[in-house]
Amino acid sequence: MRKRYLVVFLFLFVASASAQRKYSNEFLNIGVGSTAFGLSGAVVANVNDVTAGYWNPAGLARLETSQQVSFMHSEYFAGIAKYDYGSFATSVQDNTAVIGASVLRFGVDDIPDTSELIDADGNINYDRVKKFSAADYAFIFSYARKKGKNGIGLGDGLSYGANVKVIRRLVGAYGKSWGFGLDAGVQYQKGKWKFAAVGKDITSTFNSWSYNADKLSTVYATTGNDIPKSSTETAMPRIVLGAAYGTPLNEKFNVMAETNVNLTTDGKRNVLIGADPVSADPTLGISFDFKQTVFLRAGVGNIQKSTDFTGKQIYTYQPNMGVGIKIKNFSLDYALTNVGNSADALYSNVFSIRLDFENK
């Protein structure tokens, strides 16, 4: 009988978690690209490739080539959950602007559906066990432009961009939702310094959920639970501020360091600076490269105050590291990320590739 209710527990967990307004669409805060993962996400000021469509759409205006494509795959919780990402960006309007599109999927597949394990006569029939997926999708459409000099990828100046997001969330045949939101960002470069500000979900992002009452009625009636009703959850605005500094160390080696502050507006969170209604979560990343060909990256983020077994207040943090190589128009990046804390690490491997193209 415990197997019978496994799927019910999973669905209740997903539904109750998604109903929490503070953590709506939290899968969109995981991040994309092994470069950014290695830097703990401290990239909004310095990002200038196709992944800027996720991190800061203004960065698309600084693409180094006229077209880019990127793909990423990673797995979490011993491979139970899979996270995939793909994006494309191209210059338009005589290289004065850039448009891009990104797709994200975070899902758990092949979940046994045991809600019909027992037939109407009370017999256990394993042939009635089916499988389903619980998955979150995001489709991001971006536009960016650089003010001042004509053309993309140029030096100093101001760039700006915006995203339109369409979100689709599915829990098998039990529940589904649609969501819509907007992001906007700016970057400003002056010499070796870069500054940025990004507003995510600037108008709040709304997800409208609907549930399959016929699918749920039998099991929910047996367990004495109320069938969920259609509802709307809201993701509150989030602001990210960033500053980066890059300089050559000598003729062959370069260094770039960036710090970001993530400001959430949905009440007190367990971050370094937790307050109501605004909490601040800082991140820091540093990258070294050899002739813009071989890269070594490290970052730290997710700094939290917690209590150990002795009742003492301690700080935990999440370290990340990564490496990368760029050969002509091909880039391969890898990141080792800590999705736990510094004392009890659960590491995940993240791989991503990027292809650059030039219009003839």
Separation in Å, CA 8 to CA 11, 113, 125, 171: 5, 9, 18, 11
What's the confidence (pLDDT) of residue 186? 96
For 300-345, the pLDDT digits (tens) are 998 887 777 787 888 888 889 999 999 999 999 999 886 544 445 5
What is the average pLDDT value for the chain, to the nearest integer?
84
For 121-171, the pLDDT digits (tens) are 777 877 778 888 899 999 999 999 988 655 666 567 899 999 999 999 988
Residue 105: which H helix or E strand, with range?
strand 97-113
Nearest Cα to Cα of residue 281 among 289, 271, 291: 271
Number of H helices, E strands in the chain: 4, 16
What's the confidence (pLDDT) of residue 5? 38
Note whether 232 and 209 are within 8 A (CB): yes
What's the confidence (pLDDT) of residue 338? 66
Other Cβ atoms less than 10 A from the Cβ of 271: the count is 19
Spell out the alpha helix ranges (H) of the chain. Answer: 6-19, 34-38, 52-55, 213-223
Q: How many residues in total does the chain contain? A: 360
What's the confidence (pLDDT) of residue 288? 97
CA–CA–CA angle 109, 113, 119 (5° rounding) = 160
DSSP string, 36-78: HHHTTT--TTT--STTHHHH-GGGGGG-SSSEEEEEEEEEETT
Assigned architecture for domain 6-357: Beta Barrel (2.40)
User: In this structure, what token pair is assigned to residue 181?
Assistant: 């939101």
User: In this structure, what token pair is assigned to residue 288?
Assistant: 């070294």
Torsion of CA 195, 32, 87, 44, to 10 degrees: 0
What's the confidence (pLDDT) of residue 48? 94
Note whether 330 and 353 are within 8 A (CB): yes
Note whether 301 and 281 are within 8 A (CB): yes
What's the confidence (pLDDT) of residue 150? 55
User: Is the confidence at residue 114, as pLDDT, over 70?
Assistant: yes
- Per-residue burial over 311-340, b = 16 or more CB atoms within 10 Å of its CB, e = otherwise: eeeeebbbbbbbebebeeeebebbbbbbee
Phi-psi region of 36 (alpha: psi -120 to 50; beta: other; left: phi over 0): alpha
Nearest Cα to Cα of residue 283 among 12, 43, 14, 99: 43
Separation in Å, CA 150 to CA 96, 161, 195: 6, 16, 21
| Pairing relationship of beta strands 81-92 and 205-211 according to DSSP bridges | unpaired
* % of the chain at pLDDT higher than 70: 83
pLDDT interval class at 215 (50, 70, 90): low
DSSP string, 301-357: EEEEEEE-TTS-EEEEEEEEEEEEEEETTEEEEEEEEESS-SSS--EEEEEEEEEEE
pLDDT interval class at 234 (50, 70, 90): confident
User: Is the confidence at residue 172, as pLDDT, over 90?
Assistant: no
User: Is the confidence at residue 241, as pLDDT, over 80?
Assistant: yes
What's the confidence (pLDDT) of residue 224? 60
What's the confidence (pLDDT) of residue 17? 38
User: In this structure, what token pair is assigned to residue 252?
Assistant: 């062959």
Mean pLDDT lowest for which of 39-48, 208-217, 222-231, 279-288?
222-231
Contacts of 39 (CB under 8 A, 6+ apart): 258, 283, 285, 286, 287, 297, 298, 299, 320, 322
For 194-213, the pLDDT digits (tens) are 999 999 999 888 888 887 76
Separation in Å, CA 283 to CA 85, 173, 236, 322: 22, 39, 20, 16
